[in-house]
Amino acid sequence: MRIVLITGISGSGKSIAIKALEDDGYFCIDNLPVRFVDDVIASLADAGHEKVAVSIDARSGDSINGLRQTIGELARHGHVIKILFLNARTETLVQRYSETRRRHPLSLRMTRGGEPPTLIEAIEQERELMSVLEDFGASIDSSDLHPNVLRSWVRDVVGSERAPITLLFESFAFKHGVPLDADLVFDVRCLPNPYYTPELRPMTGLDESVAEYLRAIPSVQRMIEHIAGFLHTWLPHYVQENRSYLTVALGCTGGQHRSVFCVEELAREFRPVEHVLVRHRALANRLAGTA
């Protein structure tokens, strides 16, 4: 099993790191007490999990001192382990807690003279507690990092490959409005409409007769080629921004012919290189209405 242990100072980006690895196919556990690590890892191994990421922080208390021994035992069982320690400057942490208005995890557990510690005192107490692990793995200072940069650096350190983006092609009818989930919207109402050919009117873009009609029109092919070219050019940039899903919506007047055909053609183009899903909103509504 490949195990990534993410630890460090609260507010330094452990949640961002754990979510990045979850997107990459890791089974993730946030804030697992040290004393449970052995049993949980054994159970996950028995269940067939191959990649696990575990976040451990100061809420484990003094038991954090036993993490080195726990890691050694896991290594002796043949697991491949990587440790990532996230850190940030105190002024950066104070600003982050101020922005999120969240309470520091040690603020209710540690007191000075019977009074709760200030935020800065809690941060410094946590630094002292976690210092035993600071040199035990790869360290990242997230003070000046954009979240997307931090995600990228975490993947670099862990050696994780990003899961492929899910590319969703969706046809819709403009007369019902643009779908709210659309990231990119293309209007294909300028293309010739099979609706005005009587024998094609009751059919949809899924029918071969409609497909043959539209394939024979040069402007239809140019539209599909231009949309595909746009996506081939800009899709890598969406991937770099850590997008897990990209919804590309194509609309025509009724959502029955042109948009459906174009979506099917684009899905066929991208299936060999991306994870592709297809939805036809108007057709789905029509089928639901006849059920």
Q: For residue 111, give the H/E element and its range.
A: none
At which of 158, 193, 220 does a domain end? 158
Which CATH number goes with the domain that contains 129? Answer: 3.40.50.300
Residues 26 and 113 in one domain: yes
Residues 262 and 170 in one domain: yes
Question: What predicted TM-score, i.e. pTM, was given to this entire model?
Answer: 0.63
DSSP 256: S
For the chain, what is the domain count?
2
Question: 220 lies in which domain range?
Answer: 166-290
At which of 158, 177, 194 does a domain end? 158
Mean pLDDT by 10 residues, the chain (291 residues): 91 92 92 88 92 86 78 87 89 87 74 73 87 80 87 84 82 91 95 96 96 97 98 90 84 96 97 92 74 43
Residues 73 and 203 in one domain: no
**CB-based burial label for 88 (10 Å; 0-12, 13-18, 19+):** buried
Cα–Cα–Cα angle for 33, 34, 37, rounded to 5 degrees: 95
At which of 97, 126, 158 does a domain end? 158
Residues 14 and 129 in one domain: yes
